[in-house]
Amino acid sequence: MISDTIIERDFMKPGKSVALAGNAMIATSHPQATMAGLKVLEAGGNAVDAAIAAVALQGVIDPHMTGIGGDCFALYAKAGAAPVAINGSGRAPAAATLNHFASLGLDKIPDGSVHAVTIPGAVDAWCQLSERYGKIGLEAILQPAIDATRNSFVITPRVALDWARYADRLRPYPASVKQYLPGDKAPAIGDRLDNPALGETLKRIAKEGRTAFYEGEVAQDMVSMLQSFGGLHTLEDFASYKAFETKPISASYRGYDILECPPNGQGLAALVMARILDGFDLSSNELSDADRIHLFAEATKAAYRQRDLYIADPQHMQHSVEELLSDAFIKSLRNKIDMTKASAAEDFDVPVHRDTVYVTVVDADGSAISLINSIFFAFGSGVYAPKAGVLLQNRGSGFSLKPGHPNAIGPGKLPFHTIIPAMVLRDGKPVMSYGVMGGQYQALGHIHILSQIVDHGLDVQMASDQPRSFFTDGAISLEPTISPDVQAELEKRGHKTRWADEPLGGCQAIWIDRERGILWGASDHRKDGVALGY
């Protein structure tokens, strides 16, 4: 996106303007989280401090989406330093073996069961980020979240919609119903809720760090609750957990370098897709809307097939990142795309979910963080530890139970992950920090947003506002802002299509305009959020 070639917004049409700032900026999917992060920045905190403050608050006010019972991935680019990746994904219990699940007669791990709970990784990831790269310390960072647990928070429109839609996921667990369905129903827009138990746990983490969560009374409550439903989890599983730092992986698109976290996340699929589509001129006026959707669908099929076959715990990958991004392999995938007809539909063999929060921050020093936090499905596993105030994720449902599969569950193993933060570099410097919530859609979402900016000259907010499509479960899901004529053309080419019953994903992005010293921010209209800066 070059500032003097940006397409101007039509102010006669519904929408919102791109956010602009000259010093620092934060973008989240919830207005209160954005405000909390912005206050941290204005008070002298840096990008890491603001991102953790925002996402911790969302764990209170967006409990169906994220929380300390979930996982976290981040890319962090300190000004003048090489970007790093942080993997805060949780491991399977030490007793989780294929034989155990075979003895239960399972061919997949139920997403609403205790067996889907892996050890939550978010807290350790936050603690490591704060200790290594933050400025103001966890007590200040977590204070907005602590305040929200006891002063009550207000339910916003998109939060209310999702809460009501997925409330039944809580009903098998009485403690969960008591906390999250007051009066046996989902809270409505404008209702207030609190969670004092979660507040006490956050206060302990603020003072004591990771041990307050992974050891002692909080860990004991989580383990006791999990074991009461037949879980294999032990106190040792929690105490031994550690997030870890690694090097990002990357691929080129139109002269930009896209950075992703390496496996066990699906960022590799985004890079495969970027490399495939880099061989097509998506800016060409000769391409119709149907052509572009067709190309995205075909690239999605190709990239996601490789994802489902190969992405797993990095210690168990059977093919390297370099092999899957090699020129020869990408060319073989690209050459299979026929512009006139759809390839054979392939259903994905991993769970679909839409429940994640993504935060991006650029601070006054020019440091940038791209951070994503999730409990996987809506309300995660549904299992709630009431004394600790922790709602536990169900990331283990992403494991395979097929012997020999690289993503087969095993003791202490990391599962395949859908949540992926991203960054874009130009000439070795970050120019965009962004992410697209939405489960499996995320990998395609990264490429769709970047294409709208690089190929079509849109600013980050306009790029986020564009209609979306996604090939999944054997058909292309189309947002209803796409023309029926486009749908008809896609069906002529052999695609099955459906109209999406929910918005596809949710984007937050910050573009760094280095030439003019300006930050351009976006927060998706499909969520409640906002981008703000100063």
**Cα–Cα dist 81/369, whole Å:** 13
Q: What is the pLDDT of residue 130?
A: 98
Task: Tell whether the model's pLDDT for residue 151 goes beyond 90.
Answer: no
5-36 pLDDT tens trace: 667 778 877 788 999 999 999 999 999 999 99
Task: Tell whether the model's pLDDT for residue 349 goes beyond 50.
Answer: no
Task: Tell whether the model's pLDDT for residue 346 goes beyond 70.
Answer: no
Is 356 one of the catalytic residues? yes
Give how many domains the chain has, as a whole number. 1
Q: What is the pLDDT of residue 351?
A: 41
Task: Please give the structure tokens belonging to residue 13.
Answer: 């049409």
Q: What is the pLDDT of residue 9?
A: 78
**Cα–Cα dist 150/105, whole Å:** 44
Confidence of residue 354 (pLDDT cuts 50, 70, 90): very low
Q: What is the pLDDT of residue 5?
A: 60
Nearest of 193, 156, 159 to residue 178 by alpha carbon: 193
Give me the mean pLDDT over the 181-200 stretch: 96
Give me the mean pLDDT over the 334-342 stretch: 94
Helix (H, G, I), strand (E, B) or coil at 220: helix
Q: Which of 356, 418, 472, 497 is catalytic?
A: 356
Q: What is the pLDDT of residue 4?
A: 54
Helix (H, G, I), strand (E, B) or coil at 470: strand
Task: Tell whether the model's pLDDT for residue 353 goes beyond 60.
Answer: no
3-state helix, strand, coil in the chain (%, to 5): 35, 20, 45
Task: Tell whether the model's pLDDT for residue 352 goes beyond 60.
Answer: no
Residue with the two structure tokens 């969302």: 58
38-58 pLDDT tens trace: 999 999 999 999 999 999 999
Q: What is the pLDDT of residue 13?
A: 79
Task: Tell whether the model's pLDDT for residue 163 goes beyond 90.
Answer: yes
214-251 pLDDT tens trace: 999 999 999 999 999 999 999 999 999 999 999 999 99
Task: Please give the structure tokens belonging to residue 242.
Answer: 């550690």
Give me the mean pLDDT over the 200-207 stretch: 98
**What is the pTM (predicted TM-score) of this model?**
0.94
Give me the mean pLDDT over the 56-63 stretch: 96
Nearest of 55, 60, 66, 39 to residue 150 by alpha carbon: 60
Confidence of residue 439 (pLDDT cuts 50, 70, 90): confident
Q: What is the pLDDT of residue 345?
A: 57
Q: What is the pLDDT of residue 347?
A: 37
248-269 pLDDT tens trace: 999 999 999 999 999 999 999 9
Q: What is the pLDDT of residue 350?
A: 38
Give me the mean pLDDT over the 474-484 stretch: 96
Domain that holds residue 363: 1-534
95-111 pLDDT tens trace: 999 999 999 999 999 99
